[in-house]
Amino acid sequence: MVLISRPTNTWKFIWKAPIHSVIDTPHPIGHCTRMLKIDDISYSIAGRQLLAGASTTIPSGHKVGIVGRNGTGKTTLFKLITGELGLDDGSIDIPKKMRIGGIAQEAPASDASLLETVLEADTERTELLAEAETATDPNRIADIHGRLADIDAYSAEARAASILSGLGFSAAAQARPCHEFSGGWRMRVALAGVLFAQPDILMLDEPTNYLDLEGTIWLETYLRKYPHSVLIISHDRQLLNTSVNAILHLMDKELTLYQGNYDTFDAVRRAKLAEQESMARKQEATRAHLQSFVDRFRAKASKAKQAQSRVKMLEKMEPIAAGTENAVAAFDFPTPEELSPPILRLEETSVGYDGTPILRDLNLRIDQTDRIALLGANGQGKSTLSKLLADRLTPMEGNLVRSSKLKIGYFAQHQVDELHLDETPLQHITREFPGETPAKLRSRLARGGIGPEQALTEVGRLSGGQKARLSLLLATVEAPHLLILDEPTNHLDIESREALVFALAAYEGAVILVSHDPHLVNAVADTLWLVKDGEVNVFTEDLEAYKKLLLSERGVADRAEKPKKVKKKRLSHGEQRKILAPFKAEVTKCEERLNKINEIKEKIDLALADPEIYTHSEPNRFESLSKKRAEADEAIQKAESLWMQAEEELEKARARL
């Protein structure tokens, strides 16, 4: 296995063949019907075993969300697949020539523009274009240009610009050099690069952590349409519901693959746990009954054989583990006293930095019953508004009126990094309440989900989730009337995010929420404020409507403005229908053909997802299905081409009317 990386190590690709073979052999993308096979793998780190005899098979083309509690080894599994770490035992089989791509680190702070940086991520295209400049052999030149056509190299700039636009970069920003952007924005550029390169297996580890809500919504849509396999580690429930068709669960050092999205997995897993719990209870009752008989009649001669028989039954009975998981610690926010509305009001308020206003003429009101989510792309002023409301910034103009008794709790993601790493959580909470007894201080920590062991552990040794819990605890410990949360879930796993949702539902103060997690926004907020172009306005529709608006805007942003047409006399509706009828009929025919082929492919995929076909019982079925799937893929491509051609002809006909 050859590791190929850019000098900056921004992107990484793993191949099972030398790099030149990519040019000399047919490209596998879209035609590979084999699978990623993980067979009986084991791995330990620092004496702690993360994987033990774990196995799974992921057919090509599957989009798989990898889930599990923090610390179970999800990122380690990624590194084992890419070969960055070596297995203790077992094997990982990746089809020959299959490309694996993921983000190693942020894009370099270079002088290259964002667009140039993304274009360079497709190393094959870059090398072919360079070779085309110097090649003299006519056959080789023909091969190069044929390959460039195969990988759609000539539309590369438009595709790269479209991806950057989706991730929040305007046309002007795409032309700026990378060094002008912060690390968080360069992470987006790195993500754009690996999406543009379209590896056969796309591997993403918590990609939404450095995206805003708008970028997350765009990524959901993009991944759903991604043409190859995807492995994604994520705690974003919405992403796992909309963008994957299988869930790989890492638990108890083993891997279990579930078909369907996260909600389906969650329902199936809970049903299994309930069934296992029921079976464990029944077995325990049977054990107790048998043991009772043995205890009563072991010494009685007439019952001795029966008692001995039951002893053997008890010895042979394999214990069934109770179907339970370790409970996630709940968040328990203290109840604030009730204040008269409004608790905060802005009147013609402007705020900004160094004399430059970011937000202007704000007229807003917050009551203690409000649950408000702030929408708007990064850089529009959501954090600025949060800081203004939290009294971290003072108004440049206008009035900000607060209730005299108002207490505000403020959590920002950077605060996790500002904890004292050499102190324990107990020392942090003692600083807030210096006169309280250790027992009461520990009780306060427990309400935030920080147990006795973590209370005495240095913060630097705590997990990201435990640090986030401590920061949330410190923000809410004085029972605030207004709780401002700026990206509170970055370090929390799915179960902890659900615990936060329940805590916020029970909390009796106002909430201002900034989050890239659509599930959290939907579950918590009942009012949406859109921060855009220096203004803050109520968004009167729901998050789904905002999603459609956003995708529409980002799609339009990539298209050049069309010149205005000279008005001409329009035909009657009847005349138009008559002219367009044959074009519409052809489109309908193409759509029906495409739907029929897709139905066939779905049936094949369902059959391929059945673990039974990978056993020795049906040795020829997998090969036959794989061949049929490849044929279906080829037929879909042809059908799509015909459909797009028919649509184009219809649009041309409409344009002529």
Please tell me the least confidently modeled range out of 152-166, 309-323, 453-467, 512-526.
Answer: 309-323
- Say if residues 349 and 489 touch (Cβ distance below 8 Å): no
Phi, psi of 509 (to 5 degrees): -115, 180
2-260 with 344-556: one CATH topology?
Answer: yes
CA–CA dist 460, 462 (Å, integer): 6
CA–CA dist 542, 125 (Å, integer): 42
Coil, helix or strand at residue 329: coil
Q: What is the mean pLDDT of residues 596-602?
A: 84
The structure tokens listed for 227 are 């043409």
CATH topology of domain 344-556: Rossmann fold (3.40.50)
pLDDT value of position 141: 85
CA–CA dist 655, 650 (Å, integer): 9
Is 324's pLDDT higher than 60? Answer: no
Query: Measured on CA atoms in the order 423, 429, 433, 436, is the torsion positive or negative?
Result: negative
User: Looking at the DSSP assignment, which residues form a beta bridge with residue 258?
Assistant: 247
Exposure of 81 by Cβ count < 10 A (0-12 exposed, 13-18 middle, 19+ buried)? buried
Phi, psi of 392 (to 5 degrees): -90, -15
CA of 494: how far to CAs of 213, 251, 266, in Å?
A: 17, 14, 11
CA–CA dist 621, 528 (Å, integer): 53
- Say if residues 59 and 609 touch (Cβ distance below 8 Å): yes
Kindly state the DSSP code that residue 614 receives in the 8-state scheme. Answer: G
CA–CA dist 274, 259 (Å, integer): 19
Average pLDDT, the chain: 82
For the 2-260 domain, the top CATH level (class) is alpha beta
342 prior amide bond cis, ω within 30: yes
Q: What is the mean pLDDT of residues 579-602?
A: 81
- The dihedral over CA atoms of 315, 316, 317, 320, expressed in degrees to the nearest 10, equals 100
- pLDDT band for position 304 (cuts 50, 70, 90): low
CA–CA dist 508, 525 (Å, integer): 14
Coil, helix or strand at residue 447: helix
Cβ neighbours for 30, distance < 8 A, ≥ 6 positions apart: 227, 228, 633, 637
262: closest CA among 493, 547, 10? 493
Give the model confidence (pLDDT) of 415-440 as tens digits: 777 788 899 999 999 998 888 898 99
Q: To the nearest whole percent, how much of the chain has pLDDT over 90?
A: 39
CA–CA dist 186, 168 (Å, integer): 12
Domain residue ranges of the chain, discontinuous segments joined by +: 2-260, 276-316, 344-556, 573-611+618-656
- Please tell me whether the overall predicted TM-score, pTM, comes out greater than 0.75 for this model: no
Cβ neighbours, 10 Å, residue 60: 21
Give the model confidence (pLDDT) of 343-370 as tens digits: 999 999 999 998 899 999 999 999 999 9
